[in-house]
Structures are given as C-alpha cells and as structure tokens.
Amino acid sequence: MEIIPAIDLRGGKCVRLLQGDYSRETVFSDDPPAMAKHWESLGAPRLHVVDLDGAREGEPRNLEVVRAICAAVSIPVELGGGMRDTAIAQQALEVGVDRVIVGTAALDPEAAAAFVAELGERVVAGIDARDGMVAVHGWLDTTAVRAVDLARKVVALGFRWIVFTDIQRDGTLGGTNIPALHEMVTAVSASVIASGGITTVEDLRAARNAGAAGAIVGRALYTGDLDLKAALEALC
C-alpha cells in the first residue's frame, strides 16, 4: 500500500483545513516545492496535491505552483481541485502532473465518460463524503447521492482509481473511517485510496487491512504525529 503525503494549496501556500472548512486553515509552509522535496527525501512514492482555490472556484488557481512542485521532484504527482472538464485536466498534465483527480464532474455521467475516454488511467475519481453522502464544490455542498453509489457508477464508466475521503475525519487526527472505507473497497473493482484522519501506523495498517491500495496522509505529517520514514518502514 502506498503512503502518499498531501500538499494542499491555497493562495500559493501549503495549508491544511479542518474538516474541509475554509475558515479553519493552518498554514504549514509558504514554499510548497521545498515541502514536496522534503517528502520525497523521506521516501514518499507519490504526492497528492489539491488546489483548494480551484476546488471552490471551479478551475485550478495554483498551476504555476504545481508546475514548480513537479519540477522539484522525480516522483509522480497527482492533482485535484477544479478539474471540471478535460481541457482543464490537459492543462494540469502539461505542467507535469502524472494524473488528475475529478470530483464534482464525476457526478455528471457524460463528463465522467469524457474524462475516461480522453485520459484513460490518468484520471482518478475523487469521492468525498459527509455522513456517507457525496460532497462537491470544494466540500461546500452535500448532495443526495451515496458515495458508494457514485463509486459504482464511475467504475462502470471505466474509472480504475478512486480517492475516497471522509470529510468529517479530514484534518482531525482522529483516525480514518474504516467501516466506510471497507464498504467502498468491497463495492467496486477499482483500486481505492483512503483519505481523511489517518494519524498513526495503526491507522495505516487498518486501511491496508480494509483493502486500500493507498493512503493519503496530511495533517499528521505536518504536526509530527506521524513520521513518514518510520511509517514506510513499518508497512514495507
């Protein structure tokens, strides 16, 4: 299972939100490329970058910072936030990202199918849930669609990767929602990457045991609650 450090961008800085709340932001670095190099130096196999401004506004706002991150490291970088159509996704790929994460657009079957047709396995479905229901537009709006139902639909359209985030756990250092993760993993044939609340090596092991192909870790790395190098060694 891959352990993937997260870099959330807002206003060009590396930040973390609490439960997706834009008013509860902590700035951890004003040099995201340096942060990316740091995680790579500790053994990170991949980086998960989210353009928070893009998620809220509907198109990426930090692409030049993302370009600098991609230029600073040799490991693959995935990017989410504002990927509402394939033209925007192509812009992200052109700055150097390995794959793009589609969230809000995944709810539209026609748009989701277009992403798969054009990008193949370079597109990932980002399914963010609050109380089991899909949240969109930078987590500001909660829909009436169940996360597992959306997962089944996007996999039927050809998505092979899903990033599943439990919003209420995200940034809380409270551990991940293993029952919800297990439900997601068993509902689809795609590879599921867990996100939200992962804090300890035990959380990572639980995610792996639930069938996750990867786990995204954010706040716990920045606060020092989780040591990336030690975690990689523990799960190897």
Give me the active site residues, please.
8, 128
Burial class (CB in 10 A: 0-12, 13-18, 19+), 94: exposed
Separation CA 196–CA 219 (nearest Å): 9
Judge whether 169 and 180 are in contact, CB under 8 Å: no
Q: Computed from CA positions of residues 31, 137, 161, 93, in that sequence, does the dihedral angle turn out positive or negative? A: negative
Beta bridge partners of 21: 18
The SS3 of residue 183 is helix
Judge whether 139 and 130 are in contact, CB under 8 Å: yes
Judge whether 52 and 81 are in contact, CB under 8 Å: yes
Distance of CA 106 to the CA centre of its chain: 14
- The DSSP secondary-structure symbol of 167 reads T
Separation CA 1–CA 203 (nearest Å): 12
Structure tokens at 46: 């991949």
Burial class (CB in 10 A: 0-12, 13-18, 19+), 47: buried
